[in-house]
Amino acid sequence: MRTDDFKFLIECAIKAPSGHNTQPWKFENIETGIIIHPDFRRALPVVDSDNYELYISLGCALENLLIAATQKDYMCKVRYPENATNSIIIDITKDDVSNVKFDILFNEIAKRQVTKCKYNDKPLSDDVLKQLGSCFNFEGVSLHILNSKKNFEKIIPLIIEANNLQFENKDFLNELVYWIRFSKNEAEKMKDGIWSATMGMPGLGRFIGSLVMKNFITAKSEEKRLIDLLEHTQGLAIFISDTNNAEDWVKTGQAFQRFGLTATCLGVSHAHLNMPCEEITVRQKLTKDLGIENKHPLLLIRYGYAEEMPYSYRRSLKDVI
C-alpha cells in the first residue's frame, strides 16, 4: 500500500475512542495490508484487569480504518492469527471502484466525540431511535436499548453500586488520576489521557488537580453527580456479547464505533457509564436483571442531546506506527 494511503487510514483509525484515552494501539504496514497490535504498556490494570476494554478500543480503531478504506476504494478482510489475544490482521486489496461501497459514516469520523457533560431534556424521536437500534450487524453482538427513565430505573442502583466499589478503591483512583490531564498544557504535551476540559472541569494543574481528586472526590460526591447525569439522560444503550473473548471484544468495539458515528450523524450525544460492566460482581447482577444469562453486557452508554464539548487529543502518527 502507498505510504500516504497507509497514513491516511491510520489518521482515521486513531480518532477512535479508547478507555481513559490511552490509545492502546500500534499499526504495522505489511505487504498484504495492515496489522493492529495491542499496546499493553497502555493497559489499565485496575479498571480493566482482563483487557476487555483495551480490545474494545482496538475494535473502534479497526472500524474507523475499515470505513476510511471505502473512501480509497480498498477492499479489506479482517482475520485473527491463531493466538487471538495478540493482533488483528487486515488484508487489503485495491479494487475496481464499482465494487467498493462508500460508507457514509466516514463523514462522521472527525466529528465524533464522547460527550461527557449533562444532557438536555429533549427526547429522541422514534425514527432516530430506530436508526440507532439498527446501526450495526455483527454476529454475536447485540444492542439492548432502554429508552426512557422508567425503563432504565432498575439499572441505576447497579451504576451506583459499581461506582462505590471503584471510588472506595485507592488503586482505581490512582490509575484515573494518572490518566487525567489537568490543564491544556499537559493535554497538549501528552496528547493522550482524559483532558479535564472534556469533563467540564477547570484547568487546575496536576498538583492541585490530584489533590482535589484524591481528597474531595468521594464515592458519595460521584454518586450525586451520576444521579444528576441520569436525570438528564434520555436512555441507555447496552452492548451485549454472546461470548467473552478477545475476538468478540473487538467486534463489540466495532459495533460501538458504528453506534457512535451514527449518533454523531443524527446529532445525538453519547457517553459511557461503564462501571456496572467493569465490576464483575455487578456485571453478574446486570446480566440477571436484563434476563441475558450466559451473555456478557460489556458497554453501558447514556445518550441524549447536548452541546459539543472540547475534543480530546491524539498522539501523532510516529508514536503509533
Ligand X SMILES: Cc1cc2nc3c(=O)[nH]c(=O)nc-3n(C[C@H](O)[C@H](O)[C@H](O)COP(=O)(O)O)c2cc1C
- Binding positions for ligand X, rule: CB under 6 A: 17-21, 53, 56-57, 60, 113-114, 116, 194, 271-272, 274, 312
CA gap 58, 18 in Å, rounded: 8
Q: Which is nearer to ligand X, 1 or 248 (CB)?
A: 248
What would you report as the CA-atom Rg of the chain, rounded to the nearest whole angstrom?
Answer: 19
Q: How far is the CB of 69 from ligand X (least distance, A)?
A: 21
CA gap 56, 25 in Å, rounded: 11
Q: Which is nearer to ligand X, 92 or 180 (CB)?
A: 180
Q: How far is the CB of 266 from ligand X (least distance, A)?
A: 17
Cell numbers 498544557 label which residue?
185
Q: Which is nearer to ligand X, 46 or 100 (CB)?
A: 46
> What is the CB neighbour count within 10 angstroms for residue 174?
13
Please give the sequence-ordered ranges of beta strands (E in DSSP) within 86-189, or none if there are none: 88-94, 141-147, 180-181
Helices and strands (H, E) in the chain, number of each type: 13, 10
Q: Which is nearer to ligand X, 60 or 213 (CB)?
A: 60
Q: Which is nearer to ligand X, 19 or 33 (CB)?
A: 19
CA gap 321, 29 in Å, rounded: 8
- Element holding 54 (H helix, E strand): helix 52-71
Which residue has the CB atom at the shortest distance from ligand X?
A: 17
> Using an 8 Å Cβ cutoff, are 287 and 293 in contact?
yes
Contacts of 25 (CB under 8 A, 6+ apart): 13, 14, 18, 36, 37, 38, 39, 57, 58, 61, 320
Q: How far is the CB of 209 from ligand X (least distance, A)?
A: 16
Question: Distance between the two ends of the chain, CA-based, in angstroms?
Answer: 14
CA max distance for the chain: 60
**CA angle, 56 as apex, 309 and 263 as ends, to 5°?**
40
Q: Which is nearer to ligand X, 92 or 183 (CB)?
A: 183
Q: Which is nearer to ligand X, 33 or 164 (CB)?
A: 164
Q: How far is the CB of 163 from ligand X (least distance, A)?
A: 10
Q: How far is the CB of 192 from ligand X (least distance, A)?
A: 9
Q: How far is the CB of 72 from ligand X (least distance, A)?
A: 23
Q: How far is the CB of 3 from ligand X (least distance, A)?
A: 26
Q: Which is nearer to ligand X, 19 or 297 (CB)?
A: 19
CA gap 109, 105 in Å, rounded: 7
CA gap 83, 147 in Å, rounded: 39
> What is the CB neighbour count within 10 angstroms for residue 115?
22
Q: Which is nearer to ligand X, 33 or 276 (CB)?
A: 276
